[in-house]
A and B are shown apart, each in its own frame.
Chain A
């Protein structure tokens, strides 16, 4: 296998691993926060339903965490296995956040174990709630640190290269690079948003499938409300990200928007097809790109023609950008209407078709996460370290990457199917109605015996 093939297969394998991992990782970052909020609401309102909600979410969460952990280990090691030259260089500058990420992960792992096995140990539920704080913090901070590493790849700084040698290394400057604030904020908040909508989709689905229990209604309202807050936050930070791109990575923004000539009053293109440099059948929103880039409808936006041809990312990222933004907007609309409808007593939000829309929101937000990451990653092609190292220089020279790709593809298939099967079985065999009945029977039994263990 020549080097070109090794590069190709390394890229495919990395993309496959990451695309699979982020489904579980996103849930892993967002769901602990949701569990924490549900438990807190339950304690505050003294409502057993919310506590049970937290408990059932936690149970499903264990399965997703397991897959998230093992695929995260895979990508962690694959960075060195597939991109040894990159890691050798980057290790000198960016090892610090990578290292800190493992601490956050460690912290989360310890307290998740404790949390899961002490459900009935404390007399006071508040103590149990406290155990969730390090879990949620650890989860969010691993996202923060690992995104810092990714931000560094987009905006490397904190070192100088003199005659091919790295000098003047400043680890903290490398961490706090210009891409970091918007990237980290966007990743964390969209993880919360996605988790909220995935959980909302489950509640809506149970309601559609015949259960009319108060429990699911409470779950739906809570998650839609949280989803609304986080999706508005995601949109605002997304706007900041656009401004970051215009300033620091104009070629990514220009490729996303098929913006070829540098000009002012730039319109935003939605969909369409590309014919040479001509955009056909697109929906044009006048001035919107200038506003997105500089908050000024007449501001000049740098076009693709300013860049050498071999440093331009593939133009299909336009569709990824559109997909991400459209889904984001759609989710704000759905959850906003739901929230308004609850207050203004609109009946249609309880109709079957509206609930189906909410169900669709779960997979859609996951698609948006994927599209967003593909856009961010493909958008910095051909660089692995922008302006410093191109992807082919970073890849391994090993001749076995293709075989490994097939092995890992089979693995992810098995893990994906396995996790879905187990999760379905877990909740189908123990619907909430039965669990509530069981717990009540248990409590009565406990009282009769006179010894209340809780």
Chain B
């Protein structure tokens, strides 16, 4: 495996990590706000807060890690994406800032403040949409080179069906991933009402998720034929992903083994995500930028990979400790321990 491929694999893994933990987080914020609106907050808020509170800051780091790593391993992406993505990413940043800080304000400062919860929930729903624009642009066709500088064609971007398919997928998938995960978490907490409600949300959002996901493949056929053909070559990954999806829905339907359902869900998205990514090879921005011509020099690449391995040596045990203390700790999940926060 060449250093480029190793680099992009590492980054994709972090992006995948962000997609999963971010989706749980964004969806949870939305369900929390929605439950306030529909008067069901007594059912949901407890479960959601218990999960979110110790991990909200960690979620954000996955994103920072991804974009810092991207510029580190592939400095030319700063030139192409940096120049063109100013508006969508600035909006994402503003939403992120509102979310992160208002979560802390609401949880630690002014418990039960409705305005904060709504801001938080709404921002969480818009965020996946604004971030997913990057995926759309990477398919090519939206950037023109003018005097050697990349310029984003907003008209083409906003009228393209591909853009809207990806936006809808990001929202549906966010709510679906989040609901499945929280169903399991609520079940573990022995909170029957929350489990039932979240299970219902999970089933509701499963259908739009799979329909939009299929729709994107279809869109690509006319938008980026090369990518589409490579996707077809990896049909087995998507077939397997679909099988796992059916498995998750089946388990939810039967109210059976929610833990396994979560793992199948992660497997489903991993297969689809990596399949989509591998089919995109070797382009980072079709057709302007490949991973080969944007890759950093060998000295920096080696240094980054060494730093990365050492860093993971620190991170993995710490993350494991975090999960053990809060996610896989029955007493904490059920709220039995006297774990009032500071």
Contact = CB atoms under 8 A, between A and B. Distances in A.
A96 B307 CA distance: 8
Contact of A120 (B75, B108, B340): B340
Contacts of B270: none
A115 B55 CA distance: 12
Given A85-B79, A99-B307, A59 B108 contact: yes
Contacts of A72: 64
Contact of A106 (B65, B84, B340): B65
Given A77-B89, A109-B57, A109-B61, A95 B109 contact: no
A426 B109 contact: yes
A84 interface: yes
Nearest to B99: A70
A112 B104 CA distance: 13
A171 interface: yes
B229 interface: no
A87 B90 contact: no
A171 B303 contact: yes
Given A67-B101, A110-B319, A110-B322, A119 B342 contact: yes
A103 B296 contact: no
Contacts of B94: 407-408, 411
- Secondary structure call for the B interface: helix
Given A81-B90, A87-B71, A91-B78, A116 B299 contact: no
Nearest to A453: B338
Contacts of B307: 96, 99-100, 103
B97 A71 contact: yes
A89 B75 contact: yes
A102 B90 contact: no
Interface string A414-454: 11001100110110000000000000000000000000011
A117 B339 contact: yes
A17 to B, nearest CB: 10
Contacts of B61: 102, 105-106, 109
A95 B300 contact: yes
Interface string B67-91: 1110111011111111111110111
Interface residues of B, number: 74
Interface string A282-310: 00000000000000000000000000000
Interface in A347-406: 396-398, 400-401, 403-404
A296 B83 CA distance: 49
Interface in A302-330: none
A420 to B, nearest CB: 11
B207 interface: no
B71 A65 contact: no
A172 interface: yes
Interface stretch (B23-31, B158-166, B195-203, B308-316): B308-316
A66 B86 contact: no
Nearest to B59: A109
Contacts of A105: 61, 64
Given A88-B76, A91-B75, A401 B58 contact: no
Contacts of A117: 53-54, 325-326, 332, 339, 341-342
Contacts of B73: 95
Contact of B71 (A55, A66, A91, A111): A91
A66 B101 contact: yes
A43 interface: no
B93 A77 contact: yes
Given A98-B72, A103-B311, A70 B109 contact: no
A400 B152 CA distance: 11
Contact of B60 (A62, A73, A404): A73
A34 interface: no
A114 B105 contact: no
Given A73-B97, A105-B61, A116-B341, A80 B67 contact: yes
Contacts of A81: 82, 85-86, 89-90
A91 B322 CA distance: 32
Given A95-B304, A113-B57, A66 B315 contact: no
Contacts of A80: 67, 71, 77-78, 81-82
A105 B59 CA distance: 12
Contacts of A78: 90, 93
A121 B319 CA distance: 19
B299 A169 contact: yes
Contact of B315 (A55, A85, A107, A112): A107
Contact of A169 (B87, B108, B297): B297
Given A87-B71, A92-B297, A171-B303, A397 B104 contact: no
A74 interface: yes
B83 A114 contact: no
Contacts of B308: 99
B82 A396 contact: yes
A344 B186 CA distance: 61
Contact of A114 (B91, B322, B340): B322
Contacts of A89: 75
Per CB-CB distance, the 10 closest pairs between chain A and chain B, nearest first, are: A91-B75, A95-B72, A66-B104, A84-B82, A422-B109, A87-B78, A113-B54, A80-B82, A70-B97, A103-B311
Given A89-B75, A90-B75, A398-B86, 5 more contacts: A73-B97, A80-B81, A81-B82, A116-B54, A117-B332
6 contacts: A76-B68, A78-B93, A92-B297, A98-B71, A117-B325, A397-B83
Interface of B: 53-58, 60-61, 63-65, 67-69, 71-73, 75-87, 89-91, 93-94, 96-105, 108-110, 149, 151, 296-297, 299-300, 303-304, 307-308, 311, 314-315, 318-319, 321-322, 325-326, 332, 337-342
Interface of A: 55, 58-59, 62-63, 65-67, 69-74, 76-78, 80-85, 87-93, 95-96, 98-103, 105-107, 109-121, 134, 166, 169-172, 396-398, 400-401, 403-404, 407-408, 411, 414-415, 418-419, 422-423, 425-426, 453-454
